[in-house]
Structure 1
């Protein structure tokens, strides 16, 4: 059984239109008219049990609508959606027992209760056996460093503390699948690292399926192995992150530092003549060589330079996922990318 099955998913919203009447009055209260706004149009993908998927798209691409449909908060206009073998909007009670969800700055904890009391309440609601509850609480307390604020009311927590508590709360009942919507938004560097490490542990050690939306590319690279990208309500890319990096750009950069006594322009000319690789002079001692990994290598470029020149230092710079995604949205998707 797949963790998520989405086929031909379509979601339309009915948007009321105002219709001006005589002398500036408005008739839309008596004769409402609507227009259809398409949020998702024929989206298709599957997620296997134990996968970790980053779900990306620009604002308005349909990410939040997809999450709401998958969690059962919204019904689709058309298409087939199953999560853990269930239709989320038709079987909500059984569905929510198999999933966990963390929605950014919206907490699932009780504002005036100490964190531990919220956990106990959730344990009772989900009918978690006491041994399982205690084992999960001990594990999450260790991994998320909850000890210092378990007895503190939620209203007094910092954003980072509250997010860690929300993660633990969403996972106390051992869901097979967890939905994360901007889980590190607004957090400091240390809190982000703790959240990413925790999610990776759940996915890799316990086999929890992760479905993540985030504007932070470091979240995607830190917690996910696969990437799905939406644009204007349709899927434009679906592949593992390593393949995405290789498929969408072969561009790597070798930044070389030479002694001040050498002519950096002459070094750049040597590389161009021997390899055909274009080099940009950065300053009096540094040049940057952009090359395709499929046609040459950093070792070859360094060897060419060292035949006639001295090198003080060099650095190989790989393209970041953020850079790749930005490039993707600046150009039309190819037919193969639309098929995923």
Structure 2
């Protein structure tokens, strides 16, 4: 099986960066953007000024606002915001042939249904061949060709290997996995935990507290992943621990920068004001909290972040609540 033409649905920063990856790998690429100004910007100046300024896009990337223009693609990378994945895939359904590989590249838990993106894909396009791409990767760095390694999860080993070789390049290294659930959970929950790390940074709690949040947050992530049927080994890889470390370590992360603003005293409304792209952790936190409760899994950091974002607690109360929890043995 060989792939020649890739469609990328969603022209935010990450979707645009993945279009660059696919073009560098030698594919003909059609990038679908919802915003007319993004289409105009790329066509006129080869730059996505709204979401990825400063990066000149490969000439092999065509841009469109019409999903119908992706009908002849033999590979799709789906990169809309997680909370819009269902509607986007439903809109794409008339153009998706049976067996079309769709790589899910958005990270989150759907609010209301509490479904992962693979569940959403199975319900909207049941004849598609699913895969998940997730890992430590800032869009601007990937778009510029700086080195990055990610997890590419696919149950069909032959298809997964072909996708891995198709997208790989000197600066982009996918590692193959068969556990889609583990790959998705890491990507979804790390965004919520990054908000917690931002809170700690904004309050000046120090590097020791930062390390504690990452480590105990990883335990929460692992518990949820295993409870959903994923493998702890997958969560310990690039798509889980790797992505968590990156997202919790730099204000480049929209999620950590949101937490940083909250920790410095801004309200949620002030921290989100003027942001073109909403942090996925803000959208996913309520669903992660609800999902954890449904599974009977203890996730105090994620639950505290969700409570803060919903106005149920303050930053100082959240910190006090976490530090006053009963002492116990350290375990996942």
The TM-score, its normalising length taken from structure 2, stands at 0.25
- Pair member with larger Rg: 1
Counting helix residues as a fraction of each chain, which structure ranks higher?
Answer: 2
Say which structure, 1 or 2, has more relative contact order (CA 8 Å, 6+ apart): 1
TM-score after normalising by structure 1: 0.24
